[in-house]
Amino acid sequence: MKTLHFGLILLITCSTVRGQLQVPAFTAYTEPNANASRISPTSGITGWKDPECRIVWFGEIKSPATTKASILLRLPAGATSKLKLTVAGESQEAEVKGEGTNLVAAHFGNFEIKQPGYQRFTLETLNTKPPFGDLSALVLDGLTTNNALFNLKPRRNAASVHLSYPVPRGTNVAAFYCEVTGVEDPVATYYMACGWHRGYFGIQVNSKTERRIIFSVWDSGSEAVSRSNVADNNRVTLLAKGDGVSASDFGNEGTGGHSHLIYPWKTGEKQKFFVTAQPTNSTFTIYSGYWFHPEKKQWMLISSWRAPKDGSWLRSLYSFSENFGGSNGHLPRKALYGNQWIRTDGEQWLELTSASFSHDATGKSDRLDRFMGVENGEFFLHHGGFVPGSTSSGQKFTRKATGHPPIVDLPPPAQ
């Protein structure tokens, strides 16, 4: 049996070698529990102890192909692991004996992929108890980066996707209204409805039992990580918050003031958001976020913040969808974004019916399962799921106008 040293495999797992594609174990996902094993760029997959856990890789095969598949792994000396790999509806089994710290290969033979498109490569154990093996790579002979697309990087998140709303030149935007409906709801999802140059406002799935309404405003300055490095004259200041709302600092994505309301918003139920801007003396702006409470049938303040070194109206309006945890980055995320309106400083309502698509760096070449479009009169954003097709960055879409401005009866200002 062929044996490889671990140091050698670190040099080649992220590359194609003579008609052979090596897909690192750290790009895989575990099912049904997304955190069933430890996954890291340095150690691959370790701590696989649950016999019900499946290890899954996803890749887009661009044309029909036959591939000879194997798994590189480490096992304690003398231990035996029985494994099953399933590809394109066909399953093959292999047995491998451990050699301590050396890598060994479990060979599964050939798999015929008859149709182009995304494929699941599902690894299961046939043992009843561990060790099953610490995984280093999925090896696919006959495939290369020319005829197959796999994410070969440690970031397992689906690409973040955005839609941007053009506003007529010279318009002073005093308020921005948008509705969002979550269609899919995996944990670690943020559907952001109202974004602008200083903040963002939307709904988030934090865990299986907790969901939030989030409104945040960035500090001025260029600090990206720690708010402790932000001077007082650059910090946004909390002016007011609604009942039950928590407020705090945030960092690591720029810095600023964060607020959230823990609320079990429902998938499939439309959520309504309204952001206002009150410039003062060209030196600061008060930004306030209001959310329509579905049960109370009334608008409530989430929070208001005084943003220094601003003094401007809302600009650079956008929405986005983010997968902020990579352990379940293979799951689909989709939301509808509709009925976008702005209100000018002259109290005029203008409907926004066009938007353009963009994505983050992950969506450039690593994860192409990212989309935008129009569905039932609303824009949608979809990412994850390893489904075929994609939307080009910069592509523009137009939805049908409703012609009816929203009714926004805001609560009186906090005293």
Instruction: Give the residue-averaged pLDDT of 214-218.
Output: 98
pLDDT digits (tens, 9 = 90+) for 129-187: 999 999 999 999 999 999 999 999 999 999 999 999 999 999 999 999 999 999 999 99
Query: What confidence tier does 414 reach under pLDDT thresholds 50, 70, 90?
Result: low
Regarding whether 202 and 111 lie in a shared domain, the answer is no
More confident residue, 217 or 11: 217
Structure tokens, 361: 């760096």
Regarding whether 371 and 234 lie in a shared domain, the answer is yes
Regarding whether 165 and 142 lie in a shared domain, the answer is no
Regarding whether 233 and 185 lie in a shared domain, the answer is yes
pLDDT digits (tens, 9 = 90+) for 71-90: 999 999 999 999 999 999 99
Where does a domain end: 128, 150, 172?
A: 150
Domain assignment present for residue 37? The answer is yes
Domain of 71, CATH number, reads 2.60.120.260
pLDDT at 238 over 90: yes
Domain assignment present for residue 288? The answer is yes
Helix (H, G, I), strand (E, B) or coil at 12: helix
Domain assignment present for residue 406? The answer is no
Domain assignment present for residue 62? The answer is yes
pLDDT at 17 over 90: no
pLDDT digits (tens, 9 = 90+) for 266-316: 999 999 999 999 998 889 999 999 999 999 999 999 999 999 999 999 999
Domain residues for the domain of 36 are: 3-150
Confidence (pLDDT) at 19: 85
Regarding whether 174 and 58 lie in a shared domain, the answer is no
314, 255, 312, 321: which is closest to 282 by C-alpha? 312
Regarding whether 222 and 140 lie in a shared domain, the answer is no
Regarding whether 174 and 320 lie in a shared domain, the answer is yes
Regarding whether 21 and 83 lie in a shared domain, the answer is yes
Domain of 323, CATH number, reads 2.60.120
Instruction: Give the residue-averaged pLDDT of 377-397.
Output: 97
Domain assignment present for residue 273? The answer is yes
Regarding whether 270 and 165 lie in a shared domain, the answer is yes
pLDDT at 102 over 60: yes
Q: Print the SS3 string covering the chain.
A: CCEECHHHHHHHCCCECCCEEEEEHHHCEEECCCCCCEEECCCEEECCCCCCCEEEEEEEECCCEEEEEEEEEECCCCCEEEEEEEECCEEEEEEEECECCEEEEEEEEEEEECCCEEEEEEEEECCCCCCCCEEEEEEEECCCCCCEEECCCCCCCCCCEEEECCCCCCCCEEEEEEEEEECCCCCCEEEEEEEECCEEEEEEECCCCCEEEEEEEECCCCCCCCHHHCCHHHCCEEEEECCCCEEEEECCCCCEEEEEEECCCCCCCCEEEEEEEEEECCCEEEEEEEEEECCCCEEEEEEEEEEECCCCCECCCEEEEEECCHHHCCCCEEEEEEEEEEEECCCCEEECCEEEEEECCHHHHCCCCEEEEEECCEEEEEECCCCCCCCCCCCEEECCCCCCCCCCCCCCCCC
Domain assignment present for residue 139? The answer is yes
Confidence (pLDDT) at 346: 95
Regarding whether 303 and 250 lie in a shared domain, the answer is yes
Regarding whether 189 and 167 lie in a shared domain, the answer is yes
Domain assignment present for residue 403? The answer is no
Regarding whether 22 and 143 lie in a shared domain, the answer is yes
More confident residue, 85 or 9: 85
Number of domains in the chain: 2
Domain assignment present for residue 214? The answer is yes
